[in-house]
Amino acid sequence: MIRAAGSDELPALLEYPGDTERNAATRAYLGQLLDTTCTRPAWCLVAEDDGGRLVGSVVLWTLPGHEVPYAFVLFEAQAQGVGAALLEAAVAKARELGADELEHVIDSPAQAPQFQREPERRGELLRGAGFRVVRDGRRFSLRVPGQPGRLPADDARLTFRSLAGLGRGPFLDLLEHLLAVTSDARLAADVERYGARRAAEQLLEETAELRHEPHWWEIGHDLDGTPAVISLPTQNPSVPVIGFVGVAPAHRGKGYATSAVIRGTRILAANGATEIRGDCDAANAAMAKAFTRAGYENFADRLEYSRAL
């Protein structure tokens, strides 16, 4: 039977005997999601066997303040049939709440807070439920040094001007220009579906949903005065992130992606970040190099799945 988790089952959900680290991480993560309204108790579904034992879980997720879920987390199932039933229940619940698409990510290797072990089995379940891979990604992380002065310096070739001073127009213009030639599978699909301008608007709108200040977001201008790079550092519900970095086609090959990552890192560090994360498409070798050159470590791979509802 699939049902909403009872109050006495939150935030633990399905627990694994002897796996103390995993159980503690799940409880802490779900507690945070409930506290920040990224989920609600009615969105936390569990599978129960005939003896009343919990054998699976799935939790719908959204950004704080939103009423419609667009992803799910903490997907666990002790049998294939249970997993398939939970996925269909999650899809049905999301559709009922007004969602038109549902997403899920699988990180490898398995790690806190979700500990997604057996990634092949998880992928098989998702594909069987109609989900498809929309991005093969790489995840990066940087522990900010205790002394911000130890961070790399800004690129002297670039003059940065912020959203607070420029307004949205130049940001949309540059995004439209650089998205027309992108190695990111998800962004390329958006351009094909909506056109470069609408894809740019959508990217800016979605990134703006995360916490940021207008003066954090910047365009870096080359020595010749032309816009060369865009930097959109943000804070998601869990950790500060390099939300987006992009380089204008005419300025690629100059190392400006690294410069933009460093710039975003310095801004987030100045605002209290102790760990910063970022990600990119596996096909975007230049962006992966930019993170590495800026001191980030590739700590995980991430497959992003999506299903239209």
Q: Write the DSSP assignment of 221-241 as a string of letters.
A: EPTTSSEEEEEEEEE-SSSEE
- List phi, psi (to 5°) of 168: -70, -30
The residue written with tokens 């990217």 in the block is 203
CA 152 vs CA 200, 219, 258, 264, 265: distances in Å: 29, 19, 10, 11, 9
Expressed in angstroms, the distance from the first to the final Cα of the chain is 23
Task: Please say if the pLDDT value at position 171 is more than 70.
Answer: yes
Q: Is the pLDDT of residue 46 over 70?
A: yes
Q: What is the pLDDT of residues 93-111, one digit of tens each?
A: 999 999 999 999 999 999 9
Percent of the chain with pLDDT over 90: 94
For residue 303, what pLDDT is reported? 97
How far is residue 222's CA from residue 204's CA, in Å, rounded to a whole number? Answer: 22
User: Tens digits of per-residue pLDDT, 118-166?
Assistant: 999 999 999 999 999 999 999 999 999 876 668 999 999 999 999 999 9
Q: Mean pLDDT for the chain?
A: 95
The SS3 assignment for 283 reads: coil
Nearest in space to 70 (alpha carbons), one of 91, 51, 85: 91
Strands (E), the chain: 2-4, 44-48, 54-61, 71-77, 101-108, 132-143, 159-162, 218-221, 227-235, 240-247, 275-281, 297-308
The beta-carbon contacts of 207-215 under 8 Å, at least 24 apart in sequence, are: 207/232, 207/234, 207/243, 207/244, 209/63, 210/63, 210/234, 210/235, 210/236, 210/241, 210/243, 211/235, 211/236, 212/243, 213/271, 214/162, 214/163, 214/164, 215/162, 215/163, 215/164
| Mean predicted confidence (pLDDT) in 196-205 | 97
Q: What share of the chain has pLDDT > 70, as a percent?
A: 99
Instruction: Evaluate whether 72 touches 61 at the Cβ level (below 8 Å).
Output: yes
Whole-angstrom distance, CA of residue 277 vs CA of residue 299: 10
- H/E stretch holding 92 reads helix 80-96
Provide the residue type at 59 as one letter.
V
Rounded mean pLDDT, 216-230: 98
Strand partners, 218: 162, 231
Tokens 């992108």 belong to residue: 182
Cα separation, 13 vs 220, in Å, equals 46
Q: What is the chain's Cα-based Rg? A: 21
Question: What domains sit in the chain, N to C, each tagged with a CATH number?
Answer: 2-130 (3.40.630.30), 143-299 (3.40.630.30)
Which pLDDT score is estimated for 148? Answer: 62
Residues 6+ apart with CB under 8 A from 36: 64, 237
Is residue 125 within 8 A of residue 80, CB to CB? The reply is: yes
